[in-house]
């Protein structure tokens, strides 16, 4: 149902930006080739199968897509945030958020290791993950609550040179087949001051997983995790005991910036698909785009996308300058995900019945809007955090 064959003639939604260099554009061409060759022909098949080949991780690494932002000494490629934006925009073109979520689960699972992990862990885990040989996942959310990280209930009791872990985690991306899990546990008293991070390998005795069926993100491997007296060496501690909340918070700005870039990319796909379809589809003897009401829908979509893109790029520049604009990033995530919702809804109206059929990018994106507005911090949590950061 995709109508992207005619998209090469479409105008850019936003004007050229001063933030991108030829190096960024060369990387864009690399990602675009990868998407066109390795993802586009198979994405519908993988979505229906609710999985994709594990070999794709190696291919993504060979194309230089997994290493962004990680230290060079462990196999990474240090970059500015704009490389991440380029990657998110191009990876959105195939329209499967689930594929992107699992293929990039290391971008939330591995940063705490790179920032706070002991040297042996960095040298063992990061090169394997960045080479696409092993899969990394982050396990924080629990069945009893997601955003209330400071009150998580999974416990890790110290017994000699091991922690004994008991509890459960929920909605974990790459939860079934990850090799390494960065897990938030309670090692101390109540509140944020009792939280630690542990590296837990998939083959630990007592560690179980159950696959979850979802409204969207079908190609994403999502699971509930169970820890039943799982013994984990004390050496697997990431950072200091009872200081794990800091590591969790360090991750959130990057995750939310990335989710905003992805939401903007999916919104752009909705616009591009809508323009192409409105030009091809004829009703009452004229192309759909000849109707003013349709053109106004397209302009409304472009207007919102431009606002998100401009804000995203400015905040990415501020982050590259060493700033931590927490409130602004929270508001950006809400703006980006609400724009994605708006554009997906408008695209469905333009497509009509054709957009309701499986295999249409706009149908898949429409189903996946809510997970973007919930994951990484819900709309309500983002507003509350932004208000606190603003001193309100």
Distances (CA, A) of 107 to 58, 136, 307: 15, 8, 26
CA-to-CA distance for 345 and 354, rounded, in angstroms? Answer: 13
Q: What share of the chain is helix, strand, coil (3-state, %, to 5)?
A: 55, 15, 30
Distance CA 149, CA 136 (A): 20
How far apart are the C-alpha atoms of 241 and 187, rounded to whole Å?
A: 7
| Helix spans in the chain (H) | 22-34, 43-49, 55-62, 81-91, 97-103, 106-109, 111-116, 119-130, 244-280, 292-320, 326-351, 361-367, 369-374, 379-389
> CB atoms < 10 A from the CB of 127, how many?
16
User: How many CB atoms within 10 Å of residue 274?
Assistant: 26
How deeply is 220 buried, as exposed, middle or buried, from its count of CB atoms within 10 A (0-12, 13-18, 19+)? buried
Which letter does DSSP use for residue 191 in this model? S
Catalytic residue among 255, 273, 341, 368: 255
Residue-wise DSSP of 248-263: HHHHHHHHHHHHHHHH
Structural contact between residues 97 and 216, judged by C-beta atoms closer than 8 angstroms? yes
72 is catalytic: no
Cα(54)–Cα(375) distance, integer angstroms: 24
Cβ proximity of 332 and 308 under 8 Å: yes
- The sign of the dihedral angle between the CA atoms of 143, 147, 148, 149 is positive
- Beta bridge partners, 185, equal 196
Active-site annotation, residues: 255
């Amino acid at each position: 149902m995709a109508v992207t064959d005619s998209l090469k003639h479409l105008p850019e939604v936003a004007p050229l930006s001063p933030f991108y260099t030829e190096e960024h554009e060369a990387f864009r061409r690399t990602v675009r080739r990868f998407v066109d060759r390795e993802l586009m022909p198979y994405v519908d098949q993988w979505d229906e199968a609710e999985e994709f080949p594990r070999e794709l991780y190696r291919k993504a690494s060979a194309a230089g897509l997994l290493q962004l932002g990680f230290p060079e000494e462990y196999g990474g490629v240090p970059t500015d945030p704009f490389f991440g934006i380029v990657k998110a925009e191009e990876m959105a073109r195939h329209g499967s958020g689930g594929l992107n979520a699992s293929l990039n689960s290391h971008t939330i699972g591995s940063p705490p290791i790179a920032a706070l992990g002991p040297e042996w862990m960095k040298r063992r885990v990061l090169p394997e993950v960045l080479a696409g040989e092993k899969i990394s996942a982050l396990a924080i959310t629990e069945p009893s609550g997601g955003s209330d990280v400071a009150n998580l209930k999974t416990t890790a009791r110290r017994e000699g040179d091991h922690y004994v872990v008991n509890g459960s985690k929920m909605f974990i991306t790459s939860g079934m087949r990850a090799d390494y899990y960065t897990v938030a546990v309670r090692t101390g008293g109540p509140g944020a001051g009792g939280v630690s991070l542990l590296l837990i390998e998939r083959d630990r005795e007592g560690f179980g997983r159950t696959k979850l069926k979802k409204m969207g993100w079908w190609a994403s491997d999502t699971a509930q995790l169970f820890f039943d007296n799982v013994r984990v060496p004390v050496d697997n501690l990431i950072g200091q005991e009872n200081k794990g909340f800091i590591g969790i918070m360090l991750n959130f700005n990057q995750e939310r910036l990335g989710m905003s870039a992805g939401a903007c990319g999916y919104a752009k796909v909705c616009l591009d698909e809508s323009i192409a379809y409105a030009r091809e589809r004829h009703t009452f003897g004229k192309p759909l785009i000849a109707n003013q009401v349709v053109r106004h829908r397209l302009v409304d979509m472009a207007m919102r996308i431009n606002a998100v893109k401009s804000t995203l790029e400015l905040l990415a520049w501020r982050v590259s300058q060493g700033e931590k604009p927490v409130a602004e990033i929270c508001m950006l995530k809400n703006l980006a995900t609400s724009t994605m919702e708006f554009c997906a809804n408008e695209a469905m109206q333009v497509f009509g019945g054709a957009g309701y059929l499986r295999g249409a990018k706009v149908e898949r994106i429409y189903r996946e809007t809510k997970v973007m507005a919930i994951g990484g911090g819900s709309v309500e949590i983002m507003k509350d955090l932004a208000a606190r950061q603003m001193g309100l």
